Structure 1
Amino acid sequence: MSILQNILLVTILAGVVSVLIAASFSLGLLSKMVDNMVSVSVGILLATALLHSLPEAFSFPDTKPQILFGTLLAGLLGFFLLEKIALLRHSHHHEGDGHEHHHGHDAEVAGRSGWMILVGDGLHNFVDGVLIAAAFMANYEVGIFTAIAIIAHEIPQEIGDFMVLLNAGFSKGRALLYNLLCGLSAVLGGVLAYFFLEKAHAMMPYLLVIASSSFIYIAVSDLIPQMHRRPHWAESLRQTVLIACGVGFVLLLSQAS
């Protein structure tokens, strides 16, 4: 097969396999424990952003830390503004909670509530596609091992994404469909990198930073405040342990890859 055919095949597999493996966990046993898994999601999202994506972005040559930090700030403020104008609002009222919402308000809000995490996931997968393409253009074996490593580090992130979507009110089918579509953005990244590798490579650190800002914003502005609604000592200890489990899961698979 040609290099382009290899890139297409492997980016499709990489985009789909990690989602399906994550779904086998998230949509099975874990979906019955969504409230408990919010804490794990916080650990996974923060660890993915702070211990994987951001260090990778800062490792690119000729990148200025001030510009990357500025991009991170712009990403956080951008998601705040999007949420503020209700385009990507991420709230969790309940009908009958004493607030005067129209009937169906919460279903309507829930239908929009997972979009921020999907934006970040799509950007992250796009960067993965660029990495796979660059590896194949260097060497076939390097491309294969790069794809395996990407699938390994994508699994915990995808589990975190599923938990956020389920917690936001998405059905299992919609959560799976949208994550698969985001996974296929790796194909777009791979194809564009094949034709415009230099330009695509220059964009990668900034896309990684914006994706990280999505994960950080979701964890800090939405999930952690939910956890604070249960302030008992026993609950707080359990949440801390589960956050540590999420961080450990990312670290474990990062070492394995």
Structure 2
Amino acid sequence: MVVLVSLLAFLTTLAGGLAAMRVRDNRHLVLGLAGGLMLGIVAFDLIPESLELTRHSPLGVPAPMIGFAAGFLLLHVVEQAVVIHRAHEHEYAPHVHVHAHVGGSAGLVTASALVVHSLMDGVSIGLGFQSGTEVGIFVALAVIVHKFADGFNTVTAASLNRADRRPAVVLLFANATAPIAGAALGTVVRVPDAVLGPYLGGFAGVLLYLAAAEILPEAHSVHPRVMTLCATGLGLAAVLLIVSLAH
């Protein structure tokens, strides 16, 4: 099962990269749906499951919720420090951050950072299956739905100010294969529930940041809002239905 879902992540990443090279017309609907799915997985599966895995509450706060806040903050700090994702704030406000324009070697650094991020996505798949098949499937689904955006952003960043697409193709392939290696690593390393709960909470925080700060703003940036909102709502409702049927 782990091999199968990591292969799906591989294919989804490639699809996102190919879309960046060719077609952009319906990308906003795909990203809107992906954002809804990720929000649903965080709210309806990862957070409840992480709270069930461990009851430890340092400082009176459940350990998974500390992990959740840490995961959200960590990705925000990393984004600001090494420009993992291109900023989109200039589409909503008159000011423009210095890192909103990435090009040349900085674009390659961005794309390379996304490869590392994909490796950790794969590790999350492996660890998710350690806590149970259902959790593993939902973690894998969360990874798969945002790999399209990762593939797209990898090609976009690596291609900035470059006529030669070979670096973009190489980095896209590296991004696509990274979850497979990460999933294998996450399957081999055994993690106790006391650690797995906070880890899943941290992964939920990372997913929420990706959905709220990157994927959904990008989905709404230049396209009509109504259809994108409908796609997001559809993704959220789909996860709620799947979770309710699973229980």
TM-score (norm: length of structure 2): 0.68
With over 3 angstroms needed to count, the CA separation of the structure-2 counterparts of 1:201 and 1:22, relative to structure 1, is same
Shift of residue 218, structure 1, vs aligned partner: 1.1
Q: 1:4 maps to which residue? A: none
Give the aligned partner of residue 60 of structure 1.
Answer: 53
In structure 1, C-alpha distance between the alignment counterparts of 2:101 and 2:138, rounded to whole Å = 41
TM-aligned CA distance change 1:174 to 1:153, over 3 Å: farther
Q: Which amino acid aligns with 2:42?
A: A
Structure 1 residues 63 and 212, CA gap change in structure 2 (3 angstroms): same
Q: 1:242 to 1:180 in 2, by over 3 A?
A: same
Check conservation: 2:12, 2:148, Cα contact below 8 A: no
Distance 1:129 1:101, change over 3 A: closer
Aligned AA for 1:165?
D
Gaps of at least 5 residues in structure 2 are: 90-95, 156-167
Secondary structure (helix, strand or coil) at the match of 2:189 reads helix
1:168 aligns with 2:162: no
1:185 equivalent among 173, 176, 182? 182
Deviation at 1:205, TM superposition (A): 0.7
Whole-Å separation in 1 of the counterparts to 2:177 and 2:237 = 25
Q: Which amino acid aligns with 2:153?
A: A
C-alpha separation in 1, matches of 2:82 and 2:10: 31
Q: Give the whole-Å Cα distance in 1 for the aligned partners of 2:104 and 2:11.
A: 33
User: CA 1:75–1:152 in 2, change beyond 3 Å: closer, same or farther?
Assistant: closer
- Displacement, 1:38? 1.5
C-alpha separation between the residues in 2 aligned to 1:17 and 1:252?
Answer: 25
The alpha carbon displacement at 1:164 in A equals 1.6
CA RMSD of aligned residues (A): 3.9
Question: How many residues are matched?
Answer: 221
Give the alignment of 1:24-43 within 5 angstroms: 32=23, 33-43=26-36
Contact 1:43 1:247 in 2 (8 A): yes
Residue of structure 2 in register with 1:16 after alignment: 6
The 2-side partners of 1:29 and 1:84 are apart by 26
Report the Cα distance in structure 2 between the residues aligned to 1:41 and 1:169, rounded to whole angstroms. 17
The equivalent of 1:226 in structure 2 is: 218
Deviations 1:2-38 (A, max 9, x none): xxxxxxxx64x24534435756976788984323312
Could you report, residue by residue, the CA deviation over 1:109-139 in whole angstroms, capped at 9, with x for unpaired residues? 652563585265234213124236xxxxxxx
Larger radius of gyration: 1
Distance in 1 (alpha carbons) for counterparts of 2:102 and 2:7 = 40
Alignment of 1:147-158 (within 5 A): 149=134, 152-154=137-139, 156-158=141-143
- Within a 5 Å distance, the mapping from 1:237-248 to structure 2 comes to 237-248=226-237
**1:212 corresponds to which residue?**
204
Distance in 1 of aligned mates of 2:69 and 2:214? 18
Q: Which runs of 5+ in 1 are unaligned?
A: 1-9, 133-145, 194-198
**Aligned pair in 2 of structure 1 residues 223, 102: CA closer, same or farther (>3 Å)?**
closer
Match of 1:143 in 2: none
Residue aligning to 2:193: 201
Contact 2:17 2:152 (8 Å CA) reproduced: no
Alpha-carbon distance between aligned partners in 2 of 1:102 and 1:185, rounded to the nearest angstrom: 28
Q: Which amino acid aligns with 1:84?
A: Q
Residue 147 of structure 2 aligns to which amino acid in structure 1?
F
Q: Please report the TM-score for the alignment, with normalisation by the length of structure 1.
A: 0.66
